[in-house]
Chains A and B, each alone.
Chain A
Amino acid sequence: MAEAAVQHTREPAIAAVLRARFGDCIVQPTVDGIPTLWVEPTRAPEIMRCLKDEEGYELLFDLSAIDERTREFRDGQPDSSFTVFYHLISLRHDADLRIKAALPETSPGIPTVTNVYPVANWYEREAYDMFGIDFEGHPNLRRILTPPNWEGHPLRKEHPARATEMDPFSMSPEFQRSQQEGLRFVPEEWGMRRAAKHTDFMFLNLGPNHPSVHGVFRIALQMDGEVIVQAVPDIGYHHRAQEKMAERQSWHTYIPYTDRVDYLGGVMNNLPYVLNVEKMAGIEVPPRARTIRVMLAELFRISSHLVFYGTYAQDVGQMSPVLYMFADRERLFSIIEAITGGRMHPSWFRIGGVTQDLPDGWDRMVLDFVDYMPKRLDHYGTMALKNRILQRRSIGIGAYNTAEGLDWGITGPSLRATGCDWDLRKNRPYSGYDQFEFDVPTAENGDVYDRALVRVEEIRQSLRIIRQCVENMPSGPYKADHRLTTPPARERTMEHIETLIHHFLNVSWGPVIAPSESTTLIEATKGWNSYYSIADGGTMAYRTRIRTPSFPALQMIPFISNGFMIADLIAIIASIDFVMADVDR
């Protein structure tokens, strides 16, 4: 019952460029149209250097690996046990490129690309942590998501995914001691010095439980008085192995898991996943479902930005705005609840459409909110953004320019705050965003204040989009009439045994996706979110890679906060707009 979507086999222009410079490379056909080239692992750094400096691929969007050892369908791909892939994006040429390198099963290793793309640092650490791939020359190749004493590499196929697959766990005192010893803070291991010529430094452990780190996030600070000499973020406290779970959930039952990736984004998280599966299965989504999806996604964008706005004001010491904004968010949730039945995690999108049609009277509720909100935003502007103390706490703090932002993998509102007007909804419209009128707000300085400014303006633009959704909601089905998504009608299953079997398989197995690979990017609440799924002809994904905007943003903290004071660091953290679930996955 598997059915392959059209694969793009046309030779991309970039392949010729790389062939001329670096010898032969294999072009792999994909369904998403992203040129995918296999290159010699040892030449990865120079190829990246060339692609970045000469071909304009300024953003290393994603880097991770695939354990290929149990994969069955690998047509058109060279032999590989572990594949490291790099997803590069050129904003200038609006082009994507996927570079892959095949590594052997025993001691897989590849030279690091951190000198080319600084953002690769954490991504390579993650690939090392999850797959045990050695990135030669990496400045600090330590585990990043799992604890330092973890045994094995979780995303390898042989690593158990559940406790029931492992021996019963018992904790001996020796084990506890060794684990605790492994967590001992030694400044040198974090790249910190204990003293300089005239001063002894103080080390301050900010987090994992601290009122202002927005979740379980830890920053080790090397301080000279209240001035931060060096800040080193430490993540992994919220790691739930979302990517591993994707390998044992059916295509359909994985949808609720995606909700929890950015827990403020709700159905916004479903969107890239279902779009990606639809791309792989070749499913055409009806216009009504597309518009409903846009409306819900924008409602959640507002909800997420409201939390950002409120906590930002709160983190610079303003007590009240967050309470007003949470009250408004509550109004939003009541709309979302009326439509989806859920609040923060509705898991409401489906492959091929949405769960249900809109309820009666939904338009009145949404319009009321759209009418009500702009006045509130004006009010909040006077209260928070125009406040002099707040401005002094934010303007000129934690600034970076567009090039630096791209170097560190920053996308979305935080990149637009530097003046770059790239918005996936405008530049690469998906789900029918090209049908809507809206502006892409940008700012100039890329500091804490501008990041807030852009997000507040985005709330207004989202309201515009939602109004257009209400006024132009198409009629028609809310779900694609595709056999992978919609079970056969009941009357017909009662007549044909074949139809009944089909219905049974559809409900018990869920859809079977033909062997293929695809990536889908969307403009999520906090930046670009992408799902890279590999189907191996089964009912479950062979590999799912979730690229989230928060992960690289945290890596940038030392770059923008060294030399500032603790209070500034708090403002910077607030302005990044992240949730730890989105970072650790």
Chain B
Amino acid sequence: MTVDWNYILIIPVAVGALVFALFLVWWERRLLGWWQDRLGPNRVGPFGVLQALADAIKLLMKEDWLPPFGDRAFFIMAPAIVAGSMLMAYVIVPFGPDLYITDSNIAILFFLAMSSLAVYGVLLAGLSSNNKYAMLGGLRAAAQMVTYEVFMGLSLMGVVIHAGSFSLVDIVESQRDMWYIFPQCVGFLIFFMAGLAESHRLPFDLPEAEHELTAGFHTEYSGMKFALIMAAEYLAMVLTSALVVTLFFGGWLAPSFIPGAEYIPPVVWFGAKTLVFIHLFVLLRAAIPRPRYDKLMSLGWKVLLPLSLLNLLVTGGVSLWLQT
């Protein structure tokens, strides 16, 4: 594995991810508009595609306001932690057979660590604002993300058992015969829900539930700091989709049931599959109401956690039985 030249990818990936997040903001709004019988942003540039850019410029120009009653240092740090940890996690995403920044033998653990770090950002954002709505949002976020962290990790262990590796490149390669969605459909469902919760998007957007907590943990944020938090949400959405594809849907591998699929470059397959899940995220947001906070927690602890443990047990047992 030649690591060195792959580090060149850091800048394209970081810039690409942010630009893609920006594009997604517009695309999501257009999609929602289309589904909801209205237009969506269609004025700035062709089809309104520059709307997100215009928004970004507006946010950049805004006054950099700091709540005088808050904790300034943490208030400034929090969005950087949220966005930074999300960007860091992109390091391990394999976009194609040789197209990744690094392939580590602890890639999955690294991803889990980074998404855990993001909790700090959200929690600090909520607490340093010194605002009751932000605090409630921050507490909700902390509880929700810690909960979903637990079985997000557990739900992936089935895949790790099948592949026998924590490396995402190995995991993709080991799916040549069969995508892990088939043996690991339970793991996939749990991971997908945990991913929704991690990126706090509807229906799991309780930390920022605007009908209850105005804007939750980022109530006091405006301007570029707000933009960073929003960008982190979209980065998390893309990251979760990319990992779902990598772990359960064969990553960059062309689907063998489509004749001639192998002539299309692997990176295109990876992108196409990821886009499907991004659309699923948006569709969920358009369709599903928000459960109550305590119901979400009890779903996590009482249903999803035992289920992921059971999934791990069965996967482990079956693998052992097949080996002997």
Chain B residues with Cβ under 8 A from A211's Cβ? Answer: 210-211, 214
- What are 13 contact pairs spanning A and B, CB under 8 A? A202-B132, A317-B290, A317-B291, A318-B289, A319-B36, A320-B32, A323-B36, A324-B37, A327-B37, A567-B212, A567-B290, A567-B292, A570-B212
Does A506 interact with chain B (Cβ within 8 Å)? no
- Is B209 a contact of A317 with CB atoms below 8 Å? yes
> Given contacts A210-B214, A226-B136, are A313 and B209 in contact (CB under 8 A)?
no
- Is A565 a contact of B294 with CB atoms below 8 Å? yes
- Is B36 a contact of A317 with CB atoms below 8 Å? no
**Considering residues B133, B202, B291, which has the most beta carbons from chain A within 10 angstroms of its beta carbon?**
B291
| Nearest chain A CB to B290 CB, angstrom units | 3
Does A582 interact with chain B (Cβ within 8 Å)? no
Does B279 interact with chain A (Cβ within 8 Å)? no
Count of residues in B whose CB is under 8 Å from the partner chain: 28
- Is A389 a contact of B291 with CB atoms below 8 Å? yes
Q: Chain A 569-582 against B: per-residue CB contact (8 Å), 1 yes, 0 no?
A: 01000000000000
**Considering residues A211, A313, A392, A567, which has the most beta carbons from chain B within 10 angstroms of its beta carbon?**
A567
In the bound complex, how far is the Cα of B203 from the Cα of A392, in angstroms?
A: 14
Count of residues in A whose CB is under 8 Å from the partner chain: 30
Q: Which of B95-103, B235-243, B280-288 contacts A (4 or more CB under 8 A)?
A: B280-288
Interface set, chain A 351-391, CB cutoff 8 A to B: 383-384, 387, 389-390
- Is B212 a contact of A566 with CB atoms below 8 Å? yes
Chain B residues with Cβ under 8 A from A316's Cβ? Answer: 211, 289-290
Does B35 interact with chain A (Cβ within 8 Å)? yes
Does B295 interact with chain A (Cβ within 8 Å)? yes
| Residue on A nearest B289 in the bound complex, by CB | A318
Does B226 interact with chain A (Cβ within 8 Å)? no
Does A262 interact with chain B (Cβ within 8 Å)? no
- The listed residue (A315, A384, A387, A568) touching B292 by CB distance below 8 A is A568
In the bound complex, how far is the Cα of B214 from the Cα of A212, in angstroms?
A: 8
Chain A residues with Cβ under 8 A from B205's Cβ? Answer: 317
Does B38 interact with chain A (Cβ within 8 Å)? yes
Chain B residues with Cβ under 8 A from A314's Cβ? Answer: 211
- Is B36 a contact of A393 with CB atoms below 8 Å? no
| Residue on B nearest A212 in the bound complex, by CB | B211
Chain A residues with Cβ under 8 A from B294's Cβ? Answer: 226, 565
| Nearest chain B CB to A322 CB, angstrom units | 9
Does A204 interact with chain B (Cβ within 8 Å)? yes
- Is A315 a contact of B288 with CB atoms below 8 Å? no
> Given contacts A211-B210, A319-B202, are A390 and B37 in contact (CB under 8 A)?
no
Task: Contacts A211-B214, A317-B202, A320-B36 known; list 5 others, CB within 8 Å.
Answer: A316-B290, A320-B35, A567-B290, A567-B292, A567-B293
| Nearest chain B CB to A415 CB, angstrom units | 26
- Is B289 a contact of A393 with CB atoms below 8 Å? yes
- The listed residue (B136, B214, B287, B292) touching A320 by CB distance below 8 A is B287
- The listed residue (B210, B214, B292) touching A565 by CB distance below 8 A is B292
Q: Chain B 113-134 against A: per-residue CB contact (8 Å), 1 yes, 0 no?
A: 0000000000000000000110
In the bound complex, how far is the Cα of B293 from the Cα of A566, in angstroms?
A: 10
| Nearest chain A CB to B59 CB, angstrom units | 21
- The listed residue (A202, A387, A392, A567) touching B209 by CB distance below 8 A is A567
Interface set, chain B 31-67, CB cutoff 8 A to A: 32, 35-38
- Is B203 a contact of A320 with CB atoms below 8 Å? no
